[in-house]
Amino acid sequence: MVFAVACGGGGDDDGSTEPATSDGTETTDGSAAPSEGDPVVGGTLRVGLEADVDGLNPTASALAVSGLTMAQAVFDPLFTFAADGTVVPYLAESMTPSADFTEWTLKLRAGVTGPDGTPFTVDAVIKQFEITRNDPLVGLAVRPYYPETDAVAKVDDLTMVFKPLEPSQYFPSALTAQLGYIASPTWLDALAADPTLEQQPVGTGPFKFDSRTEDSVTKFVRNDAWWGTELVGPVYLDAIEFYPVPDADTRTELLLNGDLDIIHTTDTNQFETYREDSSLTLDISENGEEYFLMINTAKAPFDDVRVRQALALATDRQGYYDLFNAGEGNLADQMFTPDSPYYNPDVKQEGNDPEGAAALVAEYCGENPVAEDGSALCTDGKVNMEYQWSGPSVLATRIADFYNENWSSLFNVTFDEKSQADHIQETALGLYNVVGWRQFGAENPGDDRVWLECRNIGGISLNWPRYCSEERDALIKEIANPASPDERVGLLQQLVQNIHDSYAYIFMTHSSWAIVHTDKVHGMCDRVSPEGTPIVCSTNGRMYFHSTWLS
């Protein structure tokens, strides 16, 4: 739930579940394609990621796409998504709601032990819950949704009860990613005494930590004592090495030169290169998160809706698509694609109207506004603003230059490029005007509430734009516990309209996440749950590795 969706996307490269195949083809239809041939034990998989993270601690780290990909090697989720989009147990055995959905009884799988020998019990889940709830940033995804006391209760070593503040029919989906990755309680105790251990995670997953050099390489090796071997299949790889490569062109070059085996990217300009190489498999997902410009509505000059709307009107969305998407994917008007049942056909993202933008800027600047510190919010009839993105990335810098060409006649734009970790941190603290961002696209759209509700605004916010709407909050509560599926559809369409009317986001494109690998890589979609249900093999650029093998 918390960082299950990438944060800060526009500065690196710029869904739903999409499979990879093993025969040099492209997959886009969402069907799992089993690998061919007999699996081979051994080898080290080299993975190219768009960024590094500040740590690999699920209770405290802002994991984003790259961090979640690494975390999924060393942690198992309590629940996961099946290939058909339903939530199924994984590390958990079951979860049962009360009749009014205000209590959920969790039953854990017996016999699970981490590579450090620590048994996996309810005590581990409760310890992690409380540590996460008290974290300044990640806790923002937990604290608002539970009472201050008695939020969880132990029944026995393998049974516990969650007691969220409000009823939700979809609660288990919140435990499919970061909030569901349960760390070793022994490691968490050691971490409290030595914070550097955040770089050396210990979970129950198919791989275990070996070594890490930040911004260089992180290595995990096979966990030979993994509990899942008998239930979901053996782990074939000896090791996985993760390499952060922020520049998308460089990531592609390393793949083509044989220095990496698999990468993820949203740089659509590279897709044709992948298609032309018969040794590569291209897996594209276009139904997940969105890329947009995100605006801090609590900080002048963008606390005035006229300025937010003016920026939207001044943005050449079609020009952006033509220049940077290379005919791939689609422009986005909202957080849902047209083939989604939640899509609202009446909501269209404004843009490409410089005359309308000029009128709004003239009206605003004509009032001679000044900031609280007395500095000018307009200079020479233009609004003063900053645009921030994460990098270093040649593509992201080109995108910033493109925006400046759109905006420079009406806005005095300064630039700020940050590492992804700093980019997320400054956005959480509200130290920005406008950022390039990727978000939404949760498999359960109700889980995107964490980015939208008033309760998630504070000194540190996960409601990044700091926009509060009581109407929106009411809708979100109904979405969590609708009277019927049809009612939920209507409520989500109303939510889309509310988001549009805030002008806190300028939707650009539905992110086209690609996972690309060489013909040495097999088995990524041979994943099943402990009960034998086929489960996802990629989600919004995140990859899973326990069934992967190398030829």
- Identify the helix (H) or strand (E) that includes residue 263: strand 262-265
What is the average per-residue pLDDT within 395-408? 96
Mean pLDDT of the chain: 91
Confidence of residue 33 (pLDDT cuts 50, 70, 90): very low
* 3-state DSSP assignment of residue 23: coil
pLDDT for the residue 481:
95
Report the DSSP beta bridge partners of residue 514: 265, 284
pLDDT digits (tens, 9 = 90+) for 139-191: 989 999 999 999 999 999 999 999 999 999 999 999 999 999 999 999 999 99
pLDDT digits (tens, 9 = 90+) for 230-245: 999 999 999 999 999 9
**Which ranges constitute the DSSP H helices of 287-410?**
305-314, 317-324, 354-365, 394-407
Q: Between vectors from CA 265 to CA 264 and to CA 266, what angle results, nearest 5°?
A: 145
pTM (2 decimals)?
A: 0.86
Confidence of residue 326 (pLDDT cuts 50, 70, 90): confident
Q: Domains of the chain, with CATH numbers?
A: 26-286+513-550 (3.40.190.10), 290-510 (3.10.105.10)
Percent of the chain as helix, strand, coil, to the nearest 5: 30, 25, 45
pLDDT digits (tens, 9 = 90+) for 493-540: 999 999 999 999 999 999 899 999 999 999 999 999 999 999 998 888
